[in-house]
Every structure is written in structure tokens, then in C-alpha cells.
Structure 1
Amino acid sequence: MARESWTSRLGFILAAVGSAVGLGNVWRFPWMTAEYGGSAFLVVYLCIVLLVGVPGLLAEFVIGRRSKRNPAGALARLAPGTKSWGFVGLFGVVTALVLLSFYSVVGGWILRYFAASFTGSYFGQSGAYFETISFGWEAAAFHVGFLALTAAIVLGGVRGGIETATKAMMPLIVVLLAVLAGWAVTQPGAGEGLSFYLDFDPAPIEENPIGMLRAAAGQALFTLSLGVGTMITYASYLGEDNSLAFDGSVIAVLNTGIGVLAGFVVFPLLFALQGGLTEVTAGGEAGAIFIGVAGAFQQVPFGRAVAVGFFGAILFAALSSSISMLEIPVAYLVDEHDVSRRNATAGLGALVLVTGAVCALDPGLFDFVAGTLVDLMLTAGLAGFLVFTGWILGTDALAEFDSGAGGVARSLGTPWLWSVRTVLPFFLLATLALNLYSLL
């Protein structure tokens, strides 16, 4: 069957940004920033995005566009006669299913809060409300609802489903967050939150440099959708006339900018209306959004309308990422086993329905999957993709990088390939070793 492609360059960029802009930006990023010292974490995170994230993004683009395949098929096609590289790509497909298993649970929480915002049913009791709805059979039911929305978009295909949905959702996410940020920073007491977020203090880095590095690296990979094969899959639908360096830079800047913008909503609200970060630390990873910020809406004029806009933006962001996670294994079944998109989506949706329900019923398993396991798998996956790009593709990777690129972008190809071959795999493997050491 004929393979689909993006209708336009803008469609590809918005879809890729949509994949990256998700819960990593507006759920995990504020919590990680609060946990690791505010501005110090922001600086380290931005450095890793620039020095590791962007080159890694380009490596996945090179693999995807050159192969026109999903991660497993891409590595197998580009390294014929070597089965082991196909298994590295298949690891990315499995990682996508693991990610979606916990992600759809959080998506279910967002769906529930979005609906509850119309009535304000969690106002005044955000902590107790979240504790009641976060795990159990009701959480599993909302996970199913969020997963059904995701599957419906993926079922529509690359053009009619993913591209159309992300073209509509991405502008809405930016507009809603920008309006909320403009309002939040004007609230009395918001200045203290902005100071925590933006005034650089190196003390947290000096106190815990290894922990800071591990956390920032994990956040950068998670928020850019790296290590799982999303960008390989999306770039496989791309034409040869695109400059990968330009597209990758635009995607990284937009994604990081939206994450930073979310901080301008969360931290001013927490300090202005909740007195600081107490609600974040009390609520753990979920606290910044579902307890801290949600609890603040009761205190503001038109609180229900603000809450609807806030959780609406997060719901769009979550969907834009979840569709990319499901598209990876769907593309694998379509490309490698000639399964129809309808049957692939239905079968994989049923699988994640079960694995996600297990996470929704077991808080301990959810915490392990959402934190430790995901960070390990993403780091290992991206390290494998970088080694493949630098040492297996080699000069072919450089040729693909240069295809469609202008003079300035072409001049970056050789230093990019050098970093992909040497510095970046070493950094990621060292980070992986530290994560394993911490786990054991």
C-alpha cells in the first residue's frame, strides 16, 4: 500500500512540536524545576536541550527520512544483514507502549479535571479531590476515555488525523498559555515566583550536581520525545526538500519556549495564591498542577473560566503527544507486517487499555513506570540511535543531513556528526550508568 506523507512542511513541524509539547512541559517540567532549585534547574535543562537534545533530534530525523520507516524497520533497512539493529529499533516501539501506558492515566486525570472545571467541584479541596480520583477504577475509566480520543485521531491517518489535529491544537495551546501567563504574572505576590524561576542561583547545582544532571537530562529527553523513535517515525513521512537542521531547530525552540511559558503560569500562581511551593512538595510529581495550581483557581475572579482554559490547554498538549506515542507501534505494524491502520490502532489500543488500567490501579507501579523506567528507556534508546547514526550510517548520515539544507546548515553537518559519534553517546551512557546506580 502507498505510504502516507505530510501535506506541508508546516504540518510536519506542528506535528513534531505537538509530539514534544505535552505533559513533559506543563506537568513534569514545573515539578522538576521546583524540586531542583528553580532557576538553576532551568539553566542546566536549557543547556542539555541545546547541546544534547537538538543533535539527538537531528539524528532521529536523519534515520527516519532516509529509511521511510518506523524505528524497527528503519534500523533494519539501513543496516541490512544485521538483525541486532532491528532489535534496537524495536526497543523504541516497546518504549512507546510503556510511555503511553502511564501517559494515558495522567491524560485521564486531565480529562476529569477539565470536565470538573465547569462546575468547580474540586475548588477548596484540590488535595483531597486528587487523592480520591488519581488511582482506582474511576481513574482507569478516564484513562480509557483519553485513550479512545487518542486512538480516534491516529485512526484518521497521518494527514486526516494527526496533521489536522495538531494544526488545530498547537495554536490553541500557545494562545491559552500566553493569556494565562499574562494574567498570572500580574497577580499580587507573583514577583516572588518569577524570582524563584528566573533569578539564577548556582547553589542547587553545587549541592547536588549529579542529581541535577540526571534530572535535567531525563526531562530534556522526555519533553523532546527523544529515545523512543517518535521523530524517526514522523520524519519518515517527510520529503527530501526539507532542511532537517532548520526544522529541528524550530521544533526545539518552540517546544522549549512553550515549556518555559508554562513556568510563567505555574510559579506566579503558586507563590501569589498558595504562598509558595508547599503544595508542590506535598503533592509529589502531580502536585504542581493537580493540587497546587488547581487549588488556586478558587481564589481568582472567574475561576471556573480560568480553570477551563488552563486544563483545556493541558488536555490539547497531552493529546498532541499521546497520538505520536500510539503512531509509533501503529506504523510498525503497518510497515513491517502489512496490518491495516484500523486493525493496528484497534489492537494496540486494546493492549494499552489493559497496561494503562494496571498502572491506574497500582500507584507504586505507576510511579516506577512514569519515573525510573521511562528515564532509563529513553536514555538507552537515544544512545542506541546516536551510535547507529554516527557509526553505522556515518557519511550517509551526513549526506542526509545536507539534503535540502542551505549553506549555513551544511556547515554544521561535520561538527554535528562528530558530536553524534563521540561526545553525546558517552554523555548518555554515563547518565544511564548513574541512573542504574541510583536504582540499585
Structure 2
Amino acid sequence: MEKREKFSSRLGFILISAGCAVGLGNVWRFPYITGKYGGAAFVLIYLVFLVILGLPIMVMEFSVGRSSQKSAARSFHALEPAGTKWHFLSYIAIAGNYLLMMFYTTVGGWMLSYVVKMIKGEFTGLDPDAVGAVFNNMLTRPGSMAFWMILTVVISFLVCSLGLQKGVERITKFMMGSLFVILIILCIRSVTLPGAADGAAFYLIPDFSKIKEYGWFDVIFAAMGQAFFTLSLGIGAMAIFGSYIAKDHTLTGESIRICLLDTLVALLAGLIIFPACFAFKVNPGEGPGLVFVTLPNIFNQMAGGRIFGTLFFVFMSFAALSTIIAVFENIISFSIDLFSWKRGKAVAVNLVLIIVLSLPCVFGFNIWSSIAPLGAGSTIQDLEDFIVSNNLLPLGSLGYLLFCTSRYGWGWKNFIAEADAGKGAKFPQWSRIYVSFILPAIVLFIFIMGYIQKFVK
């Protein structure tokens, strides 16, 4: 079996873990629901839940990874008490990583194709309807979509094939660094547009009357959901990076830094989108429409819009690729841990496997568009997303919580000893009752509410 690599630097660990957490949800989900539920007031509630929901589970994932020195495929086997069956959680983790990549690679492909469309000036002179038609036309072409998906998969696995330090760490550092530079350039451009001040005020000044309008329950649940899902917790996507770091620093301190970076990207994305939407009197819509229809329309009207549009989609591609590379690294380490394969073989086998598994999502928009697994208008992508986001993430997170706090699992003492090893912020001892009983109940509540919202409302 190959000797386990380590990160060359602490910065590498923080940036890669943040890169895994910083995904497209930060950009197309966070700004939209922030706008819907009252701007800055929602952001404040979201930040509270990020600390009390996301942070403890992240620390637990990292602890399991660092203590076991294995990926989620074998970490529970290494730490569980003899005779127990906690290792069944590894199946949730493995399924979650593969399923996430079955649709995320397609969206990554959309981003790359839009970089090229922007550079070529495909949107120049188009009216809003024609811009929307470009996106819809792309979805109807399975060959083109498959090409961009395969390109995304090949680029990401090539990075992973170079190894942890030379590939994943070096290239993710560059991408995350560039991502922040591009974000700041786009923010400055957006907030200096004529009429942008109203958008910035809406986004940054809390308006609690909006919360009353929607009802506290809905707003709090939306904030909980976003805080929970933004970090991709529960499928061991983070645990792997715990297994690559030394015990120099506490895992609570490192998790705080990663949450801050993740939130900073989401907040800056909103500072690009809202001022620009207000400046050009465009409704910041929901989901893919925001990124692929609304924003190209705005760049069309903006001086130098083609350059800023290209930069924006380069930023989006880096956000997507940083997540894909991080999850591919996880998938490769599953194969190394389970079958004792060399990295080269793990890359080759999974490259083919992921391409084949990603095709149903591509075809779901065209050849197989008649398949509506979650009711009229739904796609195969919606089903895959639902299985991961509404099932595997909450159930996996519940598994990590119970494993780290129950005396029948790894147990509180082992968890605290691992989490607190090194310099930095310690995991609060007083929170034991909260993370053992209250937090699992909250996660269960999110899981049940996800079903109610999907199938009852």
C-alpha cells in the first residue's frame, strides 16, 4: 500500500478544504435566498446557524479522518469498537461522493463552456430572451454537453493524478488565490455601477420586516438548510483532508477558518450580484437561471461587460473545479484504502467510471427528458441532487454526530482528544449535551422538513 501523503503546508489544507466547501451553492443559492428572505437580516441568522450547526460536524469529520489516517471508506472500520457496525456509515459516504459527482461534473462543464462563450462574444447584442435561449439550446445538445462534462472530469483527474502536494494542493492553492482576486475585481466593478448603492443597501442593511412577511419559521429553516448544505458535510468529503494533516493545530480552529473563507466567498458573490441587478433593474432570479441568463444579460449592458463576464465564469469554473478536484481526491483515496491500488490505477478506473455515471444527468436534459423522477418538470439531475442533499448529507452528518458522542461509538473522550490536539481554539467541553442530543435532533428535523417541503407543500 502507498505511504500516505501529507499536505506541504497548513495553508494548503485550509484552502483545499475551503475549496471543497466553496461550491456553486455559494454563488447561485446563497445570494438568491438571501434576497428572498430579507437581505442582511437573513445573513445574520445564517451565520449563527453556520457556527452552531456546520462547525461542530466539520470538526467531527476532520477528527475521524485525522485519527484514523484513512478516507471515509475505512475510517469507521479503524475507530469503531470491536463488534459494532458503525462502518455501515462508510457506504453512505462512498455513495454520497459518487452521486454528487454524477451531476456536479455536468454543471462544471456548463461553467467551462460559458467561459468560451463569453470570450467569443456569443452574447453581444442579444436581447434578454435570446440570452435565455443560449442556455436552453445548450441543454438540448447531448454531444456538446457530454464534451464539456468529460473535459471537466479529465482536467480534474489529471490534477489528482499528479499527487496530493504536486497536484491537488498546488493547483487548488492557485485556483483559490485567483478566485479571491477575481471576486474582489468583480465586487469593485459591481458596487461602482450607477444605481448599485440600492442593491448594496438591500444586501447589507438588515430589514427584519421581511422576516415577519415570510414568517420566522420559514426564514430560520432556510438559514439552517443553507448553513448545513454549504459545507458538504456528512459524506466524508472533509474527513479525507483531516487524514492528510499533522497534529500541530486544533481542528476547531482550522474549521473556523474554513467556515470564514466559505462565508466570505458567498458574501462577496452577493456583493457582485445584488448591486448589479439593482443597477440594471433586473430581478435576481433563482437557481441556474441567475447565473446563465440573468448575469449574462447584465454583462451585456455593462461597459467592458465581455471582460467582466469572462472573469465571472472563470471564477465560477474555479469554484466548481475546486470542489470536483477535492471530491475526486476523496474517491481516489477510497480505491487506495479499499483495494490497495496505486494512485495511477485508482485515477484511470475512476475516470472512466465517473464519465459513465455522469451521462444520465447530461441526457436527462435532452434524450431522456421525458423521465421526470420527482414529478412534472423534474430531471434526473434533480433526483440525484435530492438523494445527496436531502438524504445522504443529513443522514451522514447524523452518523458522524452519534459516532463521535456515543459511548457505543468512537466516544466523546476520543473525539475531544483528537479535536483538541495541537495549538489553537479548543472544542467547548460544555457543548457535550448540545452535540450529543440537541444537534442530532436539529439534523433529523432538517431531514424530515426536506421531505415535507419537497412532497407536501
The residue aligned with 1:400 is 418
1:431 paired with 2:430, answer no
1:246 paired with 2:246, answer no
- Displacement of 1:225: 2.4
The residue aligned with 2:157 is 151
Instruction: Compute the TM-score of the two structures, normalised by the length of structure 2.
Output: 0.90
- Displacement of 1:43: 2.7
Return the alpha-carbon distance in structure 1 between the equivalents of residues 140 and 332 of structure 2: 28
| 8 Å CA contact retained: 1:153, 1:323 | yes
Find the partner of 2:176 among 170, 176, 179. Answer: 170
| 8 Å CA contact retained: 2:390, 2:451 | no
- Give the RMSD, CA atoms, in angstroms: 1.9
The residue aligned with 1:93 is 94
Return the alpha-carbon distance in structure 2 between the equivalents of residues 216 and 356 of structure 1: 30
1:268 paired with 2:270, answer no
| 8 Å CA contact retained: 2:96, 2:388 | no
1:291 paired with 2:315, answer no
| Matched positions, count | 432
Return the alpha-carbon distance in structure 1 between the equivalents of residues 351 and 221 of structure 2: 32
Structure 2 unaligned spans of 5+: 366-378
Return the alpha-carbon distance in structure 1 between the equivalents of residues 33 and 380 of structure 2: 20
Find the partner of 2:138 among 133, 141, 144. Answer: 133
The residue aligned with 1:142 is 148
Residue deviations 1:74-127 (CA, integer Å, cap 9, x gap): 111100434631121221121111111111111111000001111220242321
| 8 Å CA contact retained: 2:282, 2:294 | no
Evaluate the alpha carbon distance shift between residue 248 and residue 255 of structure 1 in structure 2; reply closer, same or farther with a 3 A threshold. same
- Displacement of 1:69: 0.8
1:379 paired with 2:397, answer no
- Displacement of 1:156: 1.6
Return the alpha-carbon distance in structure 1 between the equivalents of residues 351 and 303 of structure 2: 41
Instruction: Compute the TM-score of the two structures, normalised by the length of structure 1.
Output: 0.93
Structure 1 unaligned spans of 5+: none
Return the alpha-carbon distance in structure 1 between the equivalents of residues 117 and 430 of structure 2: 51
Return the alpha-carbon distance in structure 2 between the equivalents of residues 38 and 358 of structure 1: 37
Return the alpha-carbon distance in structure 2 between the equivalents of residues 82 and 114 of structure 1: 53
Return the alpha-carbon distance in structure 1 between the equivalents of residues 73 and 388 of structure 2: 20
Return the alpha-carbon distance in structure 2 between the equivalents of residues 439 and 300 of structure 1: 38
Return the alpha-carbon distance in structure 1 between the equivalents of residues 248 and 381 of structure 2: 42
| 8 Å CA contact retained: 1:184, 1:269 | yes
Residue deviations 1:16-57 (CA, integer Å, cap 9, x gap): 111111212123322333344433432332221111111111
1:228 paired with 2:235, answer yes
1:190 paired with 2:199, answer no
What is the one-letter code of the residue matched to 2:420?
A: D
Residue deviations 1:290-315 (CA, integer Å, cap 9, x gap): 11111111111222111111111111
Percent identity, aligned pairs only?
33
What is the one-letter code of the residue matched to 1:396?
A: N
| 8 Å CA contact retained: 1:185, 1:268 | yes
What is the one-letter code of the residue matched to 1:384?
A: G
- Map of 1:317-396 to 2, 5 A cutoff? 317-363=319-365, 364-371=379-386, 373-391=388-406, 392=409, 393-396=411-414
The residue aligned with 2:262 is 255
Return the alpha-carbon distance in structure 2 between the equivalents of residues 291 and 403 of structure 1: 48
Return the alpha-carbon distance in structure 2 between the equivalents of residues 47 and 413 of structure 1: 16
Find the partner of 2:223 among 216, 220, 230. Answer: 216
What is the one-letter code of the residue matched to 2:327?
A: M
Greater helix fraction, Structure 1 or Structure 2 = 1
Which stretch shifts more, 72-81 or 312-321? Answer: 72-81
- Displacement of 1:245: 1.8
Evaluate the alpha carbon distance shift between residue 64 and residue 355 of structure 1 in structure 2; reply closer, same or farther with a 3 A threshold. same
What is the one-letter code of the residue matched to 1:93?
A: I
Return the alpha-carbon distance in structure 2 between the equivalents of residues 295 and 376 of structure 1: 35
Return the alpha-carbon distance in structure 1 between the equivalents of residues 297 and 106 of structure 2: 21
Residue deviations 1:347-399 (CA, integer Å, cap 9, x gap): 22222212222112214111232356423321111111111111122101111
Which stretch shifts more, 124-133 or 168-177? Answer: 124-133
Return the alpha-carbon distance in structure 2 between the equivalents of residues 287 and 36 of structure 1: 19
Moved over 4 A (4+): none
